[in-house]
Amino acid sequence: MKFSIIADFYEKIEETSKRLEMTDLLVQLFKQTPNELIDKVVYLTTGRLYPLFVPIELGLAEKLAIRSVAMASGNKVDEVEENLKKTGDLGEVTEQILKSKKQKSLQQKPLGVLDVYETLDKIAKSTGSGSVEAKLKLLSRLLLDGTPKEAKYIIRMVIGALRLGIAEYTVLDALAVTYTGEKGNRPILERAFNISSDLGFVAKTIATEGLEAVKNFEVTLGSPVRMMLAQRLSTPEEILEKMQGECAVEYKLDGERVQAHKNDGKVNLFSRRLENITEQYPDIAELVKENMIPERVIVEGEIVAIDPQTGELLPFQTLMRRRRKYGIKEAKEEFPASLNLFDILLVDKTDYTTKTYPERRKKLEEITKKNDRIKPVEAEIVNNSKDIETFFEKAIESGCEGLVAKSIQPDSIYEAGSRGFKWIKFKREYKTEMIDTIDTVIVGALMGRGRRAGTYGALLVAVYDTEQDIFRTISKVGTGFSDADLEALPEKLKEYKIDHKHPRVDSKLKADVWFTPGKVIEIIGSEYTLSQVHTAAMGAIKKDSGIAVRFPRFTGNWREDKSPEEATTVEEIIEMYQEQIKTKPKQQKGKRK
């Protein structure tokens, strides 16, 4: 298969503004792809070489990529950099520079997909001394072997800036159509994806072994299961009603979620985004190894940092700082981490995701050697709102941010990759504030004025519409940023900058600058309001109106652990808006006092 097929396809994808067209284009691409290459084509198209959880990534430093463009074109590094300053897109620069080079010999062999994949793989894997030179050579050779257009996409791939904006669900739709002729089979593929987190593997299986094999996917050690997520409600009464009168409640700790896979003495830790974070938490890996009794097990829990002086929980930010700032060893000593377990997905050969919450909890208790550093999270069964409130108070006093209620009904299985009402989070309520922060995707920016001239004055942010697979605006956020934050914004968002509204963004507002949906920030505001200018939940509450956040402010929290599709969804916004209407009279009374 020629790589030019892929490059042409990427070009078309960049031009399209409709998701259905994107799916159709993907189907055309998959139909031209031999079965043995389909996994590789899927990975490349999502800007990777392997699934997320395999820690081999392209992400070459831009400086190195610039040097290889210079090497391939015979230009000086300075010249390439000069051009880059003008457009900001190294892909574009590469294409232009190589185009203006002398004509290549016509007999040149076309570049194959496998050649590209294997070379990129070598580049990604080469480490140690001499690896920089090796990477340079490999990349510049590849750039020369391809056409300028191919080189453009190769360069974007290696620096991790392909960003076609194709969601996993669009790929699943296209796979269903290509290999079964029916989009209706997507749920089968989706389940396989949810328990394997490996889009390429799902693709390869459906292409080579068919739908039955996809149906037989099993939870596997080493492949993270996409995590089950929680809905939110704001009163114990509503929680009980949803839970049919009785449920479990658990402490909700504010740390970092982790899925730990223990396989014969070896432990792998995966983050909420399914990245392998074992190296960042050697102490947690050790805890799992020593204290989970079975040799083969998958458990989930929340990692929290503890203040060694007081033994109290430290806030989430401390844990993230630990990851970024300190060496692992120093951080380990300064902030010892502990693991609060709350779920179990596999024990030896038995899949626990299909078992009920009470069965899972019981097993979790049985297989954990409890101590100060590792234990099943505090939990209780409740059947009235008073008990929920008491438990909630206890949780807050212990430094938690609230509780998570969990269904104990016969259907209370572990729903991989889904956010349903089987888990409901209940957090401390902020008076005269929204019941919860929301995570929004940056899709545009407005240039600043006065003191903010030269940087962005406000960011246009959006929430995720799961049905349409697009991002709908909910707010313009201009407060909550420190001067340093503001100054750093253009640089921080540079790699996402595009010269038109992204096809997956629905906005009535015109931004000065547009971005590919990529970065997620946490915001809070005073309340939700109906809005004629924002498109989130357009028409859901009132004709021609969307929902917006009033008095939005950045909380200071960049949600680096969330992908845009993991931002707050339109459905959640609608629920919170409805929630607010119900509780509003109470709030207003409070304000008058």
Q: Which residues bind ligand ATP (CB under 6 A)?
A: 229-230, 250-253, 257, 302, 342, 377, 404, 425, 439, 566
Cβ-closest position to ligand ATP: 257
Question: What letter represents residue 29's amino acid?
Answer: L
**Minimum distance, C-beta of residue 522 to ligand ATP, in the bound complex (Å):** 8
The Cα–Cα gap between 256 and 259 comes to: 10
298: three-class secondary structure by DSSP: strand
**Minimum distance, C-beta of residue 323 to ligand ATP, in the bound complex (Å):** 15
- In the complex with ligand ATP, which residue's Cβ is closer, 253 or 287? 253
Name the packing angle between helices 113-125 and 3-15 (round to 10°).
Answer: 90
Query: Does residue 385 contact residue 236 with C-beta atoms inside 8 Å?
Result: yes
The residues, ordered by sequence, that sit 6+ positions from 479 with a Cβ below 8 Å of its Cβ are 552, 553, 554
Q: Of the residues 149, 252, 375, 562, which is catalytic?
A: 252
- In the complex with ligand ATP, which residue's Cβ is closer, 253 or 576? 253
Q: What is the CB neighbour count within 10 angstroms for residue 370?
A: 11
- In the complex with ligand ATP, which residue's Cβ is closer, 49 or 52? 52
Q: Which alpha helices (H) appear in 159-256, and where do they start and end? A: 168-180, 186-196, 199-208, 211-215, 236-242
**Minimum distance, C-beta of residue 317 to ligand ATP, in the bound complex (Å):** 13
Residue 547, sorted as left (phi over 0), alpha (psi -120 to 50) or beta, turns out to be: beta
Q: Which helix (H) or strand (E) holds 424?
A: strand 419-427
- In the complex with ligand ATP, which residue's Cβ is closer, 439 or 506? 439
- In the complex with ligand ATP, which residue's Cβ is closer, 193 or 251? 251
**Minimum distance, C-beta of residue 511 to ligand ATP, in the bound complex (Å):** 25
In this structure, what DSSP letter does residue 57 have? -
266: three-class secondary structure by DSSP: strand
**Minimum distance, C-beta of residue 464 to ligand ATP, in the bound complex (Å):** 11
The residues, ordered by sequence, that sit 6+ positions from 493 with a Cβ below 8 Å of its Cβ are 442, 445, 456, 515, 519
- In the complex with ligand ATP, which residue's Cβ is closer, 43 or 251? 251
Q: What is the dihedral of CA 537, 500, 477, 253, to 10 degrees?
A: 70
Question: What letter represents residue 512's amino acid?
Answer: D
Sheet strands (E) in 466-552: 470-477, 497-498, 505-506, 513-515, 520-524, 527-531, 546-550
126: three-class secondary structure by DSSP: coil
**Minimum distance, C-beta of residue 342 to ligand ATP, in the bound complex (Å):** 4
- In the complex with ligand ATP, which residue's Cβ is closer, 394 or 425? 425
**Minimum distance, C-beta of residue 253 to ligand ATP, in the bound complex (Å):** 5
Residue carrying structure tokens 């930010």: 317
Q: Which residue in 426, 364, 357 sits closest to 392, CA to CA?
A: 426
Question: What letter represents residue 266's amino acid?
Answer: K
Task: Let me know if 425 is a catalytic residue.
Answer: no
The Cα–Cα gap between 424 and 565 comes to: 20
**Minimum distance, C-beta of residue 581 to ligand ATP, in the bound complex (Å):** 22
- In the complex with ligand ATP, which residue's Cβ is closer, 229 or 574? 229
Query: Does residue 443 contact residue 471 with C-beta atoms inside 8 Å?
Result: yes
333: three-class secondary structure by DSSP: helix
The Cα–Cα gap between 377 and 253 comes to: 9
- In the complex with ligand ATP, which residue's Cβ is closer, 30 or 342? 342
**Minimum distance, C-beta of residue 10 to ligand ATP, in the bound complex (Å):** 30
**Cα dihedral sign, 571-576-579-581:** negative
Map 371-410 to HEC letters.
CCCEEECCEEEECCHHHHHHHHHHHHHCCCCEEEEEECCC
Query: Which residues are part of the catalytic machinery?
Result: 252
